[in-house]
Amino acid sequence: MVNKDFFQALEELEATKGISKDYFIEALESALTSAYKKNFGEAKSAYVKLNPEKNTIKVYSYKTVVEEVEDPDKEISLAEAKTIKKSYKLGDTIQQEETPKEFGRIAAQTAKQVVMQRLREAERNRIMQEVSGKQDELLTVIVRRVDGENVYCDLGITEVEGILGPKDRIPGEKYAINSRVKVFVKAVRESYNMPYVQLSRTSANFVKRLFELEVPEIANGEIEIKSIVREAGYRTKIAVSSSNTTLDVIGACVGNKGMRVNAIVNELSGEKIDIVPYSENAAEFIASALSPATVLHVELNNSEKASLAVVPDDKLSLAIGKGGQNVRLAARLTGWKIDVKAKSAVPSLDLQNEEAEQTADFTNLFDESTEDEFGDIE
């Protein structure tokens, strides 16, 4: 079988689609071999060979030389083998071309199916590779349709839609068709036809990427985000630090007249953001994490990784937050259990000496009533 146009088509696919000709040939040889056996005898030992240099497609059968033939499809007698070539001996394999005229039509149909299948696979793999490179990134997408609780977005990649599910949407947000929104690519998974792309606007990493976008010092690594926690739509807490001691870390994140952080707050539909300095000193870090409340003292119980934060009486509700949100986020940000008490509830605490306040061991404050409250908020 000679078909110059067929091989030329494979070369054109390689040039236009960037898919190797060998990728098709390997699949075609396997598929055509199966097609040949299906139509001319499953028991036959045969294979199809494509030769792009000579523009040929040939079928070869092979038989083993034996003394007595038991399977004519796979064996040939020594006497018959010698009529083909006198040097054949027992155990040799004889290969012969067997390309029936009827095979041309079958080969053409099979080749078309294989090429189309491989094109789809190659396109799917290309798209999967492209989309996978977007995972954990911030994208601006276009809202194309809203179906029930899901919002389907155009990622700018052919035939691929991202899904913004109900749990990944900021509470109260509405999405207009053809509007542009920023999203975080939360997950990319391979599916039967096209990749499944899960988008999010509620992930803490979404806020992290927004800070990288708005604050150059974070993008270039001068400022590091050490920890970030979030209850989407309500409040985010972010701890930052820098090895550059001359840099105003908080000021850089807030920006001139609050421009940087306000841009992020606007993107988050008014969500509150607390930017706090990270500290290796756990007590200092916990005190900062309870912002915007003022913390008079923090006592640590290292064995249980639990802490007691003492605040002014009039700041107790602020430190705890509505529904315990502020202290809950502070606990997640620091990794410590935090119990908050008003100063009046800890009469044994002496705050008169400021220096002693910073260095005293407050283990005695962990009485039974205090210990009972640890673990409620993590």
Which residue, 176, 300, 148, is CA-closest to 163? 148
Specify the number of domains making up the chain: 4
Q: List Cβ neighbours of 236 (8 Å cut-off, separation of 6 or more).
A: 204, 207, 228, 229, 230, 268, 271, 272, 273, 274, 329
CATH of the domain at 300: 3.30.300.20
Q: Which sign does the torsion angle of CA 81, 86, 87, 89 carry?
A: positive
Structural domain ending residue among the three candidates 171, 200, 229 = 200
334 and 220 in a common domain: no
Cα dihedral 357, 360, 361, 363 in deg (nearest 10): -40
Question: What secondary structure letter does DSSP report for 324?
Answer: G
Q: Of 106, 131, 156, which residue constitutes the final position of a domain?
A: 131
Q: Are residues 42 and 125 in the same domain?
A: yes
The whole-angstrom separation of Cα 175 and Cα 265 is 18
- Return the number of other C-beta atoms located less than 10 Å from residue 359's C-beta: 7
Tens digit of pLDDT for each residue in 31-67? 888 887 777 776 677 788 888 888 888 888 888 999 8
In a domain, 283, yes or no: no
Give yes or no: residues 174 and 219 share one domain.
no
| pTM score | 0.70
Nearest Cα to Cα of residue 289 among 228, 348, 361 = 228
Q: Give CA–CA dist 156/153, Å, rounded.
A: 9
List per-residue pLDDT tens for the chain, 378 residues long: 556 777 888 888 888 877 788 888 888 888 888 887 777 776 677 788 888 888 888 888 888 999 888 888 888 899 888 888 889 899 998 888 876 777 777 777 887 788 888 778 877 887 888 888 889 999 999 999 999 899 999 998 767 889 999 999 999 999 999 999 999 999 998 876 778 899 999 999 999 999 999 999 999 999 999 999 999 999 999 999 999 999 999 999 999 999 999 999 999 999 999 999 999 999 999 999 999 999 999 999 999 999 999 999 999 999 999 999 999 999 999 999 999 999 999 877 665 444 334 333 343 344 433 333 333 333
- Give the up-direction half-sphere exposure of residue 78: CA atoms within 13 A in the CB hemisphere: 7
> Does residue 343 sit within a domain?
yes
Residue 99 lies in a domain: yes
Classify each residue of 238-259 as buried b or exposed e, where b means 16 or more C-beta atoms within 10 Å of its C-beta.
Answer: bbbbbeeeeeebeebbbeeeee
Residue 117 lies in a domain: yes
> Do 13 and 80 lie in a common domain?
yes
Query: What's the domain range around 168?
Result: 135-200
Q: What is the pLDDT of residue 362?
A: 41
Answer yes or no: do 21 and 45 share one domain: yes
Q: Say how far residue 158 (Cα) sits from the centre of its chain.
A: 19
CA distances from 84 to 79, 81, 88, 89, 100 (A): 9, 5, 8, 12, 20
Q: What is the dihedral of CA 340, 345, 346, 352, to 10 degrees?
A: 100
In this structure, are 166 and 193 located in the same domain? yes
Task: Kindly state whether residue 344 falls inside one of the protein's structural domains.
Answer: yes
**Which residues are within 8 A (CB) of 5 and not within 5 positions of it... i.e. 6 or more apart?**
none
Q: Are residues 83 and 145 in the same domain?
A: no
In a domain, 284, yes or no: no
Under a CB-based contact definition with an 8 Å cutoff, are residues 374 and 367 in contact? Answer: no
Say whether both 63 and 169 belong to one domain.
no
CATH number of residue 173's parent domain: 2.40.50.140
Q: What is the pLDDT of residue 194?
A: 76
**12 shares a domain with 113:** yes
Report the alpha-carbon angle 361-364-365, nearest 5: 100
The domain that contains 87 carries what CATH number?
3.30.1480.10
CA distance 58 to 48: 6
Domain boundary among 175, 200, 225: 200
Q: Residues near 349 by Cβ (< 8 Å), separated by ≥ 6?
A: 297, 310, 343, 362, 365
The answer to the question of residue 112 being in a domain is yes
Q: Residue 40: enclosing H or E segment and its boundaries?
A: helix 21-40
CA atoms of 293 and 274, how far apart (whole Å): 11
Whether residue 143 is found in the same domain as residue 253 = no
Q: What is the pLDDT of residues 85-107, one digit of tens each?
A: 889 899 998 888 876 777 777 77
Are 123 and 146 within one domain? no
Six token digits for residue 181: 């929104």
Q: Are residues 25 and 113 in the same domain?
A: yes
125 assigned to some structural domain = yes
